Amino acid sequence: MTQYITPDLRRWLKEQLQSGVKATDLVISMTQAGWERKLALQAVAELKIDGWFGKKEEANSLAGKLPEPAVGDGRCLLDAGDREVSVLATVQHPRVVVFGNLLSAEECRAIIDAATPRMQRSETVSEKSVGSEVNVARTSRGMFFERGETDVIARLEARIARLVNWPVENGEGVQVLNYQPGAEYQPHYDYFDARHASTGSILKRGGQRVGTLVMYLNTPKRGGATTFPDIKMAVQPIQGQAVFFSYATPDPSSLTLHGGAPVLEGEKWVATKWLRQGRFE
C-alpha cells in the first residue's frame, strides 16, 4: 500500500515537535507504527526546514551556524580568494552544493603524489570499542595530511575556508582516498554517532562534524559517483570538482546518508575535508 504524508499527519508531527519530542524519536515511533522509514524521515525533515523545531531541538540545532557557501543570491561563480569556483548544482535540504574548478589539474596531481607513499587500507570509527578498525563496507586505501602540511594543502585549506565561510582551524586534516575497480564506500553518515563507544572522546577535540567536502582528484572511466540515497542523487567524480554537504543535526533526519559507489573502470582519487563545530587543534 502506498503511504502519503497527509495534512493530519503533518499537523500531528508539528504538535509533537513543538511539545519537545525529538525528531529522531518521532521517526522511530512512526516506523514502529508501520510507516516506511524513508517517508518518516522525509516528513520530519520537511517540517524541520519549515522551522518546526521543538524547543529542545532548536537549542541543539546548528541551523544558521553552519559552513555555507554564498550561493543564496543565485551566484554562478564564487570568490574563493585565489580562485573563482563555479556552482554546478545546489540542493536545499539536505544542503548539498556541487562545485566546479575548485582545484587545478596540477594541484590534484601534487596531492596524489604526496599521498601515494603513505596510503594504507582505510579504517572507520569502531562501533563497540574506542578506536578505529578495518571495515568491509570501505574498501578504499587512504591517508591523512596534517593541516597545512604542504604548500598545496595549505593553499587549498585557505580556499575552502573562504568558499564555505568556515575557519581553517575548524577543519580536520585533509584525507586522501584511492579506490581501485570494485572498491566502494557503502552509505554512511559522516557525523559521529552518539551511540558509539568512542564518540565522547572524539567530540572533545573540536566537537561534532558539521560539514563534508569531497574533492575529486581524478576522473575514473566509469563508476565511483558519490551518492545520496535519501534524495536519489549521484555526483560524478570529475577532476577538480567537489561536492559539499552540511548537517545541522547529527541524526538521520539530516538526510545526509551518502556513499561512494563502486568504481567500475579505472581508479578514483578523492580528498575529503571534514569541518567541525569548533577548533580542531
> Which residue, 190 or 251, has its beta carbon nearer to Zn ion?
190
Closest CB 258 distance from ligand PD2, rounded Å: 5
Considering only CA atoms, give the Rg of the chain: 19
52 is a site residue for ligand PD2 (CB under 6 A): no
Selected binder of Zn ion within 57, 157, 190, 230 (CB under 5 A): 190
In the bound state with ligand PD2, the residue whose beta carbon lies nearer, of 54 and 220, is 220
Residue at grid coordinates 522509514: 37
C-alpha to C-alpha distance for 194 and 44, rounded to whole angstroms: 20
Grid coordinates belonging to 20: 519537545
Kindly identify the residues of this chain, within the stretch 245-274, that bind ligand PD2 according to CB under 6 A: 258-260, 270, 272
* Contacting residue, 214, 215, 233, 257, with ligand PD2 by CB under 6 A: 214
Contact 249, 44 (CB under 8 A): no
Could you tell me how many residues of this chain bind ligand PD2 (CB under 6 A)?
Answer: 11
What is the residue-wise DSSP string for 46-111? Answer: HHHHTT---HHHHHH--TTSS---S-TT--SEEE-SSSEEEEEEEETTTTEEEEESSS-HHHHHHH
User: Given the rule CB under 5 A, which of 8-16, 31-39, 121-129, 188-196 is the region that contacts Zn ion?
Assistant: 188-196
Contacts with ligand PD2 by CB under 6 A lie at: 177, 185, 190, 212, 214, 226, 258-260, 270, 272
Which chain residues interact with Zn ion by CB under 5 A? 190
